[in-house]
Amino acid sequence: MKLLLTSAGVNNKSIHEALVDMLDKPIAESNALCIPTAMYGHPWVGPGVRTWEFISGNSENPMVDLGWKSVGVLELTALPSIGEDRWVPLVRETDVLLVSGGDALYLYHWMKESGLADLLPSLRAVYVGMSAGSMVMAPKIGEFFVGWTPPNGEEKTLGFVDFAMFPHVDHEMLPHNTMAAAEKWAAGMQGPAYAIDDQTAIKVIDGSVDVVSEGHWKLFTQS
């Protein structure tokens, strides 16, 4: 799998170059599908204006508006009501999945319910996550980020990577997302945990992990 796990989208040259390198062809020749589902589960985000802003490429977090050959919408909550033949071929043919932020547990729930979670490991597409769209790849997110409560009450996510993520470190609009808070959060996690600011992303290719940053970040490991 090829994963580009960002805090706030493809918002600087280093992250942009990492994405192009992972695609193996220009963005202008690549087809994308955007997944806004996580936004519906977060009380600060959607549904509403911000979901439209993400889908239409009018948000302040560059993802949909990078100059793709085409962009479609893959709404996970709708997929269980239609046949797999209506959407699985489309996903298999796409070059990149652009997965919005929002609520990571809500996103995980619908990834499982829709069947996308089972499909992801076999895809050729580059997976680009933002905030919750990145965090969902971890084994768990930690109590700090629990908002929406799943039907089974579990704080579990996909576990496609062996580390957890604390995004938006030191963001001016998120006063609780400090590096000190991230350190406390990391102490309660099992395994490695990254705290990253909005100028940082984590690139994962077939299990190999690299940090791409024009900002600041920290890796916490359990002693």
Neighbours of 166 (CB within 10 A): 27
What percent of the chain has a predicted confidence (pLDDT) above 90?
Answer: 73
> What does 155-176 look like in DSSP terms, one character per residue?
-----SSS-EEE-STT-TT-TT
Instruction: Read off the pLDDT of residues 144-166 as tens digits, 9 standing for 90 and up.
Output: 888 788 887 778 999 999 999 99
pLDDT of residue 49: 82
Instruction: Read off the pLDDT of residues 1-27 as tens digits, 9 standing for 90 and up.
Output: 899 999 999 999 999 999 999 998 999
Is the pLDDT at 176 greater than 90? The verdict is no
Total domains in the fold of the chain: 1
What percent of the chain has a predicted confidence (pLDDT) above 70?
Answer: 98
Is the pLDDT at 222 greater than 80? The verdict is no
Six-digit token pair at 65? Answer: 């508006």
Average pLDDT value for residue range 165-170:
88
Of the pLDDT bands very low, low, confident and very high (cuts 50, 70, 90), residue 174 is low
pLDDT of residue 223: 57
Of the pLDDT bands very low, low, confident and very high (cuts 50, 70, 90), residue 194 is very high
Six-digit token pair at 95? Answer: 């070059």
> What does the chain look like in DSSP terms, one character per residue?
-EEEEESSSS-SHHHHHHHHHHHTS-GGG-EEEEE-GGGGG-TTTTTTHHHHHHHHT-SSS-STTS--SEEEE--GGGGGGS-GGGTHHHHHH-SEEEE--S-HHHHHHHHHHHTHHHHGGG--SEEEEETHHHHTTSS---GGG--SPPTT-------SSS-EEE-STT-TT-TT--HHHHHHHHHTSSS-EEEE-TTEEEEEETTEEEEEESS-EEEE---
Angle, CA 67 vertex, CA 166 and CA 91 arms, to 5°: 70
CATH number at residue 36: 3.40.50.880
In this structure, what is the dihedral angle of CA atoms 103, 104, 110, 114, given to the nearest 10 degrees?
140
pTM: 0.94
Average pLDDT value for residue range 55-82:
94
Instruction: Read off the pLDDT of residues 94-134 as tens digits, 9 standing for 90 and up.
Output: 999 999 999 999 999 999 999 999 999 999 999 999 999 99
Domain that holds residue 109: 2-220
pLDDT of residue 92: 97
Contact 40, 77 (CB under 8 A): yes
